[in-house]
Structure 1
Amino acid sequence: MMAKYHLEVLTPHRKFYDGDVEEIIVTTSAGEVGVQRGHIPMTVALGIGTLKIKNDNEWKEASISSGFMEVKPDNVIILSDAVEWPEEIDVSRAEAAKERAEERLRQKKSQHEYILARAALRRALVRINVAKKYKKI
């Protein structure tokens, strides 16, 4: 069994996770990063993607939507705009958000609006993929 450390995941609306874990893998702005107990301290920007939590040799996966992660040797704090377990994801709402984002991309507006639409599309796709992987839709 791997040595555990404390993980706290906070969003503006709730404490998503607060407990000991063996390992996490999270999407950062530069790709996926794995963290185990004793990891070198760092602060990193999170991207739109997934948060995988390993506890008692079992992985759970959630969608995560940007934020920051502070890593210390014996604890990790994640502050994120939104984090959802697969069973919390409203797939029809995510599908509607995907369609809206695709339509905004087709309209070819300003560079700023394009970047926002791409991020919205990425969030919707991650939510849909995480939900479908675990909900057997």
Structure 2
Amino acid sequence: MAASALRVRIVSPERVLYEGEADGVVVPAWEGELGVLRGHAPLVALLRRGEVKVRRGDRVEHFAIDGGVLQVVDDVVTVVSEHPQTGAAERIGPAQALRRSNTEGAGPW
């Protein structure tokens, strides 16, 4: 890993959706957008429903989450969310999330 890169993981209880290096990450924290760069202080934050943006160079990858938890320690950023998905958050509405959870065998509880 390059000394100037963050290590980013976006995970659910069932799988790792993304793992890789990044220059920066923006997450939908409970109180607003939160940016994380290399050297960020250790942090744990609640996340609301929205979009996680992972930037590497001039490329940005988007992940939709339905809330979760962020942990930042030693340039490792971990996002834990129940049903993270690749793609922009506005493409994933509540009906799709419910339909997806029902087809995966998980009810609303």
TM-score interval for Structure 1 and Structure 2 normalised by the shorter chain: 0.7 to 0.9
CA distance in 2, matches of 1:56, 1:23: 9
User: Relative contact order (C-alpha < 8 Å, sep 6+): which is higher?
Assistant: 2
- Give the Å deviation of 1:81: 1.0
Listed as ranges, the matches of 1:31-110 within 5 Å are 31-86=32-87, 94=93, 97=95
Q: CA deviation at 1:52?
A: 0.3
Q: CA deviation at 1:73?
A: 3.2
SS at match of 2:40: coil
1:25 aligns with 2:26: yes
Q: Aligned partners of 1:54, 1:72: CA distance in 2, in Å?
A: 18
Q: Which runs of 5+ in 1 are unaligned?
A: 101-137
Structure 1 runs (4+) deviating above 4 angstroms are none
**In 2: Cα distance, 1:62 partner to 1:42 partner:** 20
* Deviations, residues 36-94 of structure 1 (Å, cap 9, x unaligned): 1100111000110110000122111121111111112321111111211129x9x6x84
**Which structure shows the higher helix fraction?**
1
Amino acid at match of 2:23: E
TM-score by length of 1: 0.61
Larger Cα Rg: Structure 1 or Structure 2? 1
Can you list the C-alpha shifts for 1:102-136, whole angstroms capped at 9, x where unaligned? xxxxxxxxxxxxxxxxxxxxxxxxxxxxxxxxxxx
Larger strand proportion, structure 1 or 2?
A: 2
Unaligned runs of 5+ in 2: 99-109
Percent identical: 24
Q: What is the TM-score normalised by the length of structure 2?
A: 0.75
Give 1:14's aligned residue. Answer: 15
